[in-house]
Structure 1
Amino acid sequence: MHPTDQEILTMAQIPRQREEAFSMLVEKYRQRLYWHLRKMVIIHEDADDLLQNTFIKVWKNLGNFRGDSALFTWLYRIATNEALNHLNKKRTELLNSFDDLESVMSGQLDEDPLFNGDEIQKRLQKSILTLPDKQRLVFNMKYFDEMKYEEMAEILNTSVGALKASYFHAVRKIEALIDKELF
């Protein structure tokens, strides 16, 4: 059984227990954060690298965590920023190319030996890739992670109303793309 976030944070304040607390934190959140990142960047290696970067930032800043938000929220915010920065960097690298990032990621999804979904799941993932980053993020957090809008608002530092609108538009775009492909 995992310790509570408060237990982890209390241990992290004690110098000789900080590493153990961090290990507990990693164990508790590694998988959730990995899949959050993976849905954004598609490629396992990229998600893995971003997860490491996330935990490096967490390690460096754990002593500065003020508790203004839940630990989970803080971790997701760091991971989300890592993913968005990564996608922006990839777009910049492709600036002089005829390819756009979404097409590249869609092609990588086709070639990904770790993707174990069926054709319908692959179509859904490709449709999600056509969304702007923020809409894709909101859709993934709501649809796959089943987060409440209030949690998402805290993580993304935006209003519940804006998130509901983003999710609504994302769903409509995905439905239209899937309908277009089916007929």
Structure 2
Amino acid sequence: MQPDDKEILHLAQEAGKPDQALALLMKKYKERLYWHIRKMVIVHEDADDLLQNTFMKAWKSIGKFRGDASLYTWLYRIATNETLNYINKKKEGLLNEDSDMEIMLGNKIETDPLFSGDEIQKRLQKCLLALPEKQRLVFNMKYFEDMTYEQISEILGTSVGALKASYFHAVRKIEAFIKNEVF
């Protein structure tokens, strides 16, 4: 049985047991956050490191959690920010940021022994890599993680209208890639 968010917060804030709260938090959200991060960075080791960073940041600040957002969206915001910061730092070291990053990650999809997707899944992932970062993030959260626009809005701090537009454009670009078989 999954631990309740109120129970986790009670342990962290009132009972003064942040280690126990972190263990419950990880049990409840580890897999979902891992795949959220992995879809952005592709590489298992990078996703694993970013997941650890996410939980360390959460552990350090869970005692100050105000409850303005749900625990779920708060963790996703931390994970998303960690991932985007990591991607931006990686891009700084590349000459032609976007295309070099796209090529590098595309190659990782082909050679990663932990990527178990079939050819269609690999092609879809390569299509997603060609999208602008925000469109890819919104598409992943809406399509793969089945989040509502309201949840995504809380996590990304963007209006629902802008998110709908990003998702619409992402879908159209993916359809165009697949139709034209641009891979």
- TM class, shorter-length: over 0.9
Note closer, same or farther for the CA distance 1:98–1:180 as it changes in structure 2 (3 Å cut).
closer
Are positions 1:73 and 2:68 aligned together?
Answer: no
SS of the residue 1:83 aligns to: helix
Change (3 A) 1:160 1:16: closer
Q: Deviations over 1:154-175 (max 9, x none)?
A: 0000110000000000000011
Query: C-alpha offsets along residues 112-135 of structure 1, whole Å, 9 cap, x if unaligned?
Result: 101111101110000000011111
Q: Which residue of 1 aligns with 2:56?
A: 56
Matches within 5 A, 1:1-16: 1-14=1-14, 16=16
Amino acid at match of 1:46: D
Aligned residues: CA RMSD: 1.6
Q: After the TM superposition, which of the residue ranges 61-70 and 94-103 deviates more from structure 2?
A: 94-103
Runs of 5+ consecutive residues of structure 1 not aligned to the other structure: none
Partner residue, 1:44: 44
- How far 1:139 moved relative to its partner? 0.3
- State the 1:2 CA deviation: 1.2
Residues 98 and 141 of structure 1: is their aligned pair in 2 closer, same or farther, counting only changes over 3 Å?
A: closer
**Structure 2 CA distance for aligned equivalents of residues 161 and 124 of structure 1:** 25
Instruction: Name structure 2 gaps, 5 residues minimum.
Output: none
Asked if structure 1 preserves the Cα contact closer than 8 Å seen for 2:91 and 2:97, the reply is no
Corresponding residue of 1:152: 152
For 1:181, the aligned partner's letter is E
**Within 5 Å, which residues of 2 pair with 1:52-131?**
52-95=52-95, 100-131=100-131
Structure-2 separation of matches of 1:72 and 1:62 = 12
Task: State the partner residue of 2:32.
Answer: 32
The AA in structure 2 aligned to 1:62 is: I
Distance 2:156 2:11 in 1: 27
Percent identical among aligned pairs is 65
TM-score (norm 2): 0.95
Aligned equivalents of 2:112 and 2:161: distance in 1?
A: 36
**Distance of 2:133 and 2:141 partners within structure 1:** 12
Deviates more, 1:4-13 or 1:67-76: 4-13
Counterpart residue type for residue 41 of structure 1: V
For 1:175, what is the secondary structure of its paired residue? helix
Aligned length, in residue pairs: 182
Write the letter of the residue equivalent to 1:83: T
Query: Is 1:162 aligned with 2:158?
Result: no
Task: Give the corresponding residue for 1:138.
Answer: 138
Once the two structures are TM-superposed, the CA of residue 18 in structure 1 deviates from its matched residue by 2.1
Structure-2 separation of matches of 1:119 and 1:98:
24
Give the Cα separation in 2 of the matches to 1:96 and 1:128: 18
Question: Aligned partners of 2:181, 2:99: CA distance in 1, in Å?
Answer: 22
For 2:2, what is the secondary structure of its paired residue? Answer: coil
Change (3 A) 1:36 1:16: same
State TM-score, norm by structure 1: 0.95
Q: What letter corresponds to residue 152 of structure 1 in structure 2?
A: I
Tell me the residue number matched to 1:21.
Answer: 21
